Amino acid sequence: MATEADLIFPQQANHNFSHILHDLKRSNLSISNRLRSIREDADFVKEVAGAFGRPLIANERCGSWYIDPEDKAGSAYFKSTDGHTGQWNFSSRRLNLHLLSVIGRHDGCVIVDSTRRGKQMPDALSKTVPIWCCVLNRVLFPEAARLHQLYTPPNVVSRSEHSQAEARVPEHVLSFKALDIDAAALRAHISKPLRPVWVTQESQLAATERVFDDFHPVVCCTSSRRVPGGEMSEGGYIQGAGDDTENWALGLTAPVFWGNIATLLSTPEPDLPDLVRSLVANRAGGPATNTPVQVGRCLFISRLPASAQPASTCAINLVPKTTDMGSWVKSPKLMEVGIGEAGAGKEKLASRSLRVALPAICDFADAYFKAGTRESEEIPASERRILVTCEAGRDLPIGVALAIACRFLDDEGNYPRPPNSAVNKDLVAKRLSRITMACPEANLSRTTLKSVNSYLMS
């Protein structure tokens, strides 16, 4: 009698079966399924905000997808890579110190993030945020050793990993203190230590007021429901649907999604790509409303296009195209640097191109500053300001402002920097910490920082 093992499928049948599985997976990961999944998870996030009575903070990049803009109190940048096993970092590039004022005013906050299929919560919430809380507690409450413990979710982080992460906290404390940030000013924002609290869709949420007498709760909310197997068994639900947008969103952003949510969710899948492209194009052609942020005495950053500026402003615009270096300088107060597109997964290419562009950019800035030191110049040095812009306004302009501050300005932000003063990584870290405190939306990438360090140290 023949058995199952004796059955032989022709090669073409195996190929067709594999093709069918691929098509099924692709259809399940459709744009419409992603948007519906995001909306479902956003409803849970809103429920968490109501249960805890604390403001919602989006952990970028994907956290904003799960928060209605009307409910969003701010953004943070806690990276999962900083919490990866063996890393356990406290990032001096992403200090997130602006959250302390929010936490102090509202006795805590809810940080929203998600993770893709298979994980219960992202490393950013299970380890990066806890390390951040622990470091700040040790810096801001140095006399209270009982407040210095690291807290991690025991059902996600093993005791061994917890111990290894906690062993690195003292070196993070030293690194933070080396930035010379006014700890007393930070301490004035909060009345209690910080402690992470974790919430997932498996948590029981009681609709009662939650009071925490001994600490400010930093609620780490994983927005997506855990899918242990394949999404094909979930009826179209996709865990972490708002992640990796460069691979599926066609340029759609969280603000555009929330501004057109009813239309997007009611549009059939075949018509969605054209609708998304139309919405994105209309958004890109809107009026200029980007107000510059001051990150130094004479340094400002903004998204393109920036709002109207004083006539004394020198603009360095990082435009999303590649142009010849000889065409960059348009006038003594205008430079358009074409180092390539920086969005939709192309950030690293533009950041690497910045390494080659920085000498020309800084020479241009230096010439502008020097002109202000001449008595015959119409614009005095005290009124001179440099505005650095790009489409996103969070990475590349930060790198350019950092290079200019380290190369030409003193500790008070005045030109010129004292002769023979050293430019080293400690100086770069201090100047960067000031910039990120002035601009909480800043998200300097590792690649951009490497380009800046390469220019400054070479």
Find where tokens 């009982």 sit. 146
Contact 108, 214 (CB under 8 A): no
DSSP-derived secondary structure letter, 147: G
pLDDT for 234 equals 60
Architecture in CATH for domain 293-457 = Alpha-Beta Complex (3.90)
346's tokens: 């192309």
pLDDT for 382 equals 75
pLDDT for 403 equals 97
Among 393, 430, 413, 411, smallest CA distance to 179 is for 430
Contact 330, 336 (CB under 8 A): yes
Report H helices in 118-247.
123, 129-140, 159-167, 169-177, 183-187
* Domain spans, the chain: 28-248, 250-286, 293-457
Among 322, 315, 301, 341, smallest CA distance to 444 is for 301
pLDDT for 262 equals 97
Give the pLDDT mean for 234-252: 87
Tell me the per-residue pLDDT of 173-186, one tens digit each, with 9 for 90 and over.
999 999 999 999 99
Q: In the predicted model, is pLDDT for residue 345 greater than 90?
A: no
Contact 386, 435 (CB under 8 A): no
Q: What global pTM score does this model have?
A: 0.87
pLDDT for 22 equals 41
Q: In the predicted model, is pLDDT for residue 86 greater than 90?
A: yes
- Please enumerate in sequence order all residues whose Cβ is within 8 A of that of 337, keeping only pairs 6 or more positions apart, or say none: 316, 317, 318, 319, 323, 328, 357, 360, 361
- For strand 56-59 and strand 109-113, is the pairing parallel, antiparallel, or unpaired? parallel
CA-based torsion, 409, 414, 418, 422: positive or negative: negative
